[in-house]
Amino acid sequence: MVTSGPVPRHARARRKAPLWVKILGGVVVLGIVGVVAFAGYWAWRLQSNIHEAPLSAGHGTADATNDATDPLQILIIGTDTRSGSGDASYGSTADSSGYGNSDVMILLNISADNKVVSMTSFPRDLMVPIPACHDPQTGKDYPAQPVGQINSAMMEAGPGCAVDTINQLTGLKIDHFMVADFNAVKDLSNEIGGVQVCVNAPIDDPYSGLKLPAGTSTIQGEMALAFLRSRHGVGDGSDLSRIKSQQEFLASLARKVKSDGTLTNIPKLLSIADTITQNLTVDPGLANPQAMITIASRLRSVDLSKVAFVTAPWEPYTGDPNRVQLKQPDAAALFDALRQNRDLTAPATTATASASASPSAAAPTTAAAPAYDKTIQPVSVANGTGVTGRAAELSTFLKGQGFAQTTDFNAAATDTTNVYYSANFADVAKDVAAALGIPSSQVQPADNINGVQVYVGSDFTSGTHYTPKLPDNVVSQTAAQSTCQTAFGQ
């Protein structure tokens, strides 16, 4: 006979989960689905906004970089194309066909530790060598130009040609570029609620439409665009004065974005990203939302007093006083500092690099074997530093590099180190300069010497590797500083 007993524990009926547990579980599931859907929507939306163009116009690409941890160089280009502006005051689309000229060209550098940031402006009228470029849209090839106006590089073969031109000019390898049109400025300034700018006197510029009272004003939309475009209303009426307006605007923009907490406000950040990407062309490496968010997150904690605004050192162009050219050796010093991620806001110092310092990109030490015998080349070192024994020190170093016939002597004091060479010694001079890290802009022919002469100045008083001294006041302002633009005629 079967008798009843306790039901085995494993056979007991399962207790139903309390209602609140089910509700909570459902909420969690819905939340996860919602987050995934939200992220997917924004990834799709931003991705669909972005326009792409090649990073180079036939000269290779940047080294593989990690956008989160490596030093970054990003070329920011403002194009003068009128396409889509919808405003006859800008002119017709025919005024700027194809890619358009690079109306604004700023090189953004971010150090690996995010502690050093610089924004270097290149005047649009700067005359520079332009490399051969291939237009990816038309398939047309453009020959190299010994000298051309820098803003024409993009007009010929797209942003990749502008990137190649800056790479060649600076010795850098740009990692990304961003090209924005007129609409980007208007829409972005509207999105963030305007940017504060200051002018020292009233401005009424009929050419750009800029109309501001003296003092501080909040500008957005058309007026923000007019402020950035105005030449006739500011300074001396040149593009160089307009650069100061652009730097003032960007510094003020950085202060507002940081004070508003925009970079930590995800909905606001996404809204701004949506606005920007609708008017943006970027390289393939930047053509995804994650890359942009990664770079934005790096800028979140940057000290604004370490964000330096700089203009590439310039002087009137010898072929046309209405154009400009790089001023040497100041430009070489700036580009060397950019390659080394030096803090441009730090007090200027003279070059005191040690022999172990890494050589600059402008004068690489790795080269093929020379087509001459180093041991018999006439090389001399002239001591213009005022430091006893300086020429002998460098002479000994060059002998160790294989230039066995190097001699030294004292000479009149000079400020800047140069390498001179006589006829048929250009290749030797190049290698001597490379051994000492002296940039090519400071290597030049001379008639009154035999062979190669290193004339050492007060900018190279110690060490065996030359670090060019940055010019005084190289930084126009930092992002932490509020400045006031000068009205035309003031």
Q: What residue spans define the domains of the chain?
A: 72-346, 374-456
- Residue 224 pLDDT greater than 80, yes or no: yes
Question: In the chain, what percentage of residues exceed pLDDT 90?
Answer: 52
- Residue 446 pLDDT greater than 60, yes or no: yes
Alpha-carbon distance of 39 to 293, in angstroms, equals 13
Q: What confidence score (pLDDT) does residue 136 get?
A: 87
pLDDT band of residue 414 (cuts 50, 70, 90) is: very high
Q: What confidence score (pLDDT) does residue 118 get?
A: 95
285 burial level (CB within 10 Å; 0-12, 13-18, 19+):
middle
- Please name the residues in contact with 287: beta carbons below 8 A apart, sequence gap of 6 or more: 47, 50, 52
CA distances 305 to 246, 328, 403, Å, are 18, 27, 46
Q: What confidence score (pLDDT) does residue 17 get?
A: 58
Over residues 334-350, the pLDDT tens digits come to 998 999 889 999 865 54
Q: What is the mean pLDDT of the chain?
A: 82
Over residues 368-390, the pLDDT tens digits come to 567 899 999 999 999 999 999 99
Determine the residue type at 375: T
- Residue 63 pLDDT greater than 90, yes or no: no
For residue 430, give the H/E element and its range.
helix 426-436
CATH superfamily, region 72-346: LCP protein (3.40.630.190)
Q: What confidence score (pLDDT) does residue 350 get?
A: 43
Over residues 290-325, the pLDDT tens digits come to 788 788 888 888 899 999 999 999 999 999 999 999
Stretch 237-246: mean pLDDT, rounded?
91
Over residues 106-147, the pLDDT tens digits come to 999 999 999 999 999 999 999 999 999 999 888 999 999 999
Q: What is the CATH code for 374-456?
A: 3.30.70.2390
Over residues 21-59, the pLDDT tens digits come to 545 555 555 555 444 444 454 455 666 667 888 999 987
For residue 414, give the H/E element and its range.
none
- Residue 361 pLDDT greater than 50, yes or no: no
SS3 478: strand
